[in-house]
Amino acid sequence: MLLTVCLILAGCTGTPTPPVDTAKNAAKLIEEDLTLDEVYALMTTRLKETTTLYPALGIEQQADGNWQFRSAKDGLPEDADVPFHALIFIPARSGGKYYMVFFEDGSVIGDDWFSYSRAALIKLTLGGTLIAE
């Protein structure tokens, strides 16, 4: 009986099976060097619909762990030919954290979770109104 309970608990904490329907589960599967298409393949259609892909002139993780973003002054069109992109997941609940995946030349270079206020600043930056660091 104890062995059965342990196996059930172990199965609940493992890696989720794609396609996943939450950003939390996607975060467990996304790793560096995956392409955008491979990241999308990990998600259900419903989860994909909660994402927005933003082009950027630069995305870099600083030594202190913070992220720095650069965009054109007036923003960039979605189909802009730029080396960097940020895939932003809208939280499932109001006030929840935003999950973001960052790409350089089509491959994942990192990911992170952000508060609403920080995510809003990043979205404004990538929309061309501010420069966030």
Dump the DSSP string for the chain.
Answer: -HHHHHHHHHHHSSPPPSSBSSHHHHHHH--TT-BHHHHHHTB-HHHHTTEEEEEESEEEE-TTS-EEEE--TT---TT---SEEEEEEPPSSTTPPEEEEEEETTEEEEEEEE-HHHHHHHHHHHTTS----
Q: Which of 2-11, 12-21, 82-91, 97-106 has the lowest mean pLDDT?
A: 2-11
- Domain-wise residue ranges, the chain: 2-126
In the predicted structure, residue 63 carries a pLDDT above the cut 60:
yes
For residue 53, the tally of other CB atoms under 10 A from its CB is 14
- pLDDT higher at 76 or 6: 76
pTM listed for this prediction: 0.84
Percent of the chain with pLDDT strictly greater than 70: 85
Most confident residue range from 56-60, 76-80, 124-128: 56-60
In the predicted structure, residue 129 carries a pLDDT above the cut 60:
no
pLDDT of residue 128: 65
pLDDT of residue 84: 94
Mean pLDDT, residues 42-71: 94
